[in-house]
Amino acid sequence: MMRVGIGNDIHRLEKGRKLIIGGVIIPSDKGEEAHSDGDVLIHAIIDAVLGATAMGDIGTLFPDDEVFTENMDSTIMLREVLQKTKCRIVNLDSTVHIEAPKLRSHIDAIRDNLSKIMNIPVSAVSVKAKTAEGLGPVGEGLAIASDAVILLEGAS
Ligand code: MG
């Protein structure tokens, strides 16, 4: 059986925080403000996987008021979720919305890292980056957001 899932996430950008996207640290003077490491792309992917399998959402599995999720590496969350679903990922498409820095030179490293975590070829991992043309909280550099769509095989 094939199942599709959608996820999105947004975090405030704060000075002195690490900017982590898809498990890759991106050089920047601002990063995601969060209880966990704030990896906005991984959080969107987790919600897409949980959505495809109708297993709830990231806030249910990893509450942001628990000690065990404090500064938690989001790649560990994704690995745990993938183990629970027992599904094979067919492909991922995603978009990261950020005004600065430009992500173009980091996209392949992010795709490569995600392909390893999800155990699928890099050719099945799409990560796109967009600015918001100066509009809204993303455009003003106050926030980073992400969308993810995932197709799973073997869910029941
Ligand atoms: Mg989040």
CA distance 88 to 23: 20
pTM for the complete prediction?
Answer: 0.96
Residues lining ligand 1 (ion), CB within 5 A? 9, 43
User: What percent of the chain is modeled with pLDDT above 70?
Assistant: 99
147 CA to middle of ligand 1, Å? 11
For residues 146 and 43, the answer to whether their CB atoms sit within 8 Å is yes
User: What percent of the chain is modeled with pLDDT above 90?
Assistant: 88
81 CA to middle of ligand 1, Å? 15
Task: Please write the tens of the pLDDT for every residue from 126-154.
Answer: 999 999 999 999 999 999 999 999 999 98
Higher pLDDT, 96 or 67: 96
10 CA to middle of ligand 1, Å? 6
- In the three-class reduction of DSSP (H, G, I as helix; E, B as strand; rest coil), residue 86 is classed as coil
Q: Output helix, strand, coil percentages for the chain, rounded to the nearest 5.
A: 35, 30, 35
77 CA to middle of ligand 1, Å? 11
